[in-house]
Amino acid sequence: MTPAVNAQEADYNYTNIPPAKDIYTHSWRDNWYIQLGAGAQMPIFEKNGDASNFQMKKTTALYEAGVGHWFSPYFGFRFRGQGGAMHWENSNQWHKGKYANLNLEITWDMFNSLCGVNDHRVFSIIPYLGVGGSYAWDYSVAGNILDNDGKVMEHQGVVNTNLGLQFRFRCSKRVDLYVDARLTGTADNINNIAWKTGLDPIFSMTGGLQINLGKEGRHVTKYTPFDCMGATTSTAASTNFAATWQTLRLSSALHKHNSHAQRLQNQQLLLKPQILSTQLSASNSTLQRFLQTTKLHSTT
């Protein structure tokens, strides 16, 4: 007899399995982009007396270009270069110079990480952290750093770090607008003047256009696999029931097999006397014919 647990078995097979985590993937060729932008920068170093480091007259134009890639919906990287003029004041004297940098930055899509992945989100905030190098030259006033020959140096190359926030606005799958706020920390000698402060910071604000490369623009592919581990962990009771159910099924099948075998054996036992009776009747008929034939020969 088959146990009446079909409804419970169906419930185990389809409803007790927990949902698996979504997985997002894309080809390495996808989700590349280029950025072109411009803005302003302000060196936050060198001042006269008690004057503030934040002075609008130190603000100069800044231009930038970059190329980046999202290797997941959450994290990516970007190579970005910036360049422009620098203005600062020291010892009651106005200084100028030219400046450029190149950085490798790790980017984090904060909204995708905290609010769920959404390719069509209109507004996103992207913090980033980077490291790179800066180069300055064409100083208008000689500094106080000397080379190995005792001459005042005319250019400086230093290591810098940077961090910032990018605010991205989606226009279409291929075009985004962005606004970027960034703080760059360079070595003290970037302006060819060193006072052993260790760090000369530069604050910048830029905005521009981001072009998402490829036919699909910025996108990911989503799929949800069967979570075997989750099903095993969270449905232990259902798993035990399934094992019991399988045991019952095997027991029932074995019982049916034994019953069928017994019936066959009984049929064979029932058939044996019939076969013997048939064989005996056949033998008696043969004996009678033989006796009749023998009697006729004797009479003759």
What does the pLDDT read at residue 181? 97
Give tens-digit pLDDT for 99-138: 999 999 999 999 999 998 888 899 999 999 999 999 999 8
Q: Are 164 and 180 in contact (CB under 8 A)?
A: yes
pLDDT average, residue stretch 229-245: 53
Percent of the chain clearing pLDDT 90 (strictly above): 35
The answer to whether 46 touches 91, Cβ cutoff 8 Å, is: no
Spatial neighbors of 15 by CB under 8 A, at least 6 apart, are none
What is the reported pLDDT for 40? Answer: 96
CA distance 16 to 232: 10
Contact 179/39 with Cβ under 8 angstroms?
A: no
Summarised one tens digit per residue, pLDDT across range 173-217 is 899 999 999 999 998 888 777 766 678 899 999 999 999 998 777
The predicted pLDDT at position 133 comes to 94
Radius of gyration of the chain (CA): 45
What are the pLDDT digits (tens) for 238-275?
555 556 656 666 666 666 656 655 665 665 555 555 55
Whole-angstrom distance, CA of residue 43 vs CA of residue 247:
78
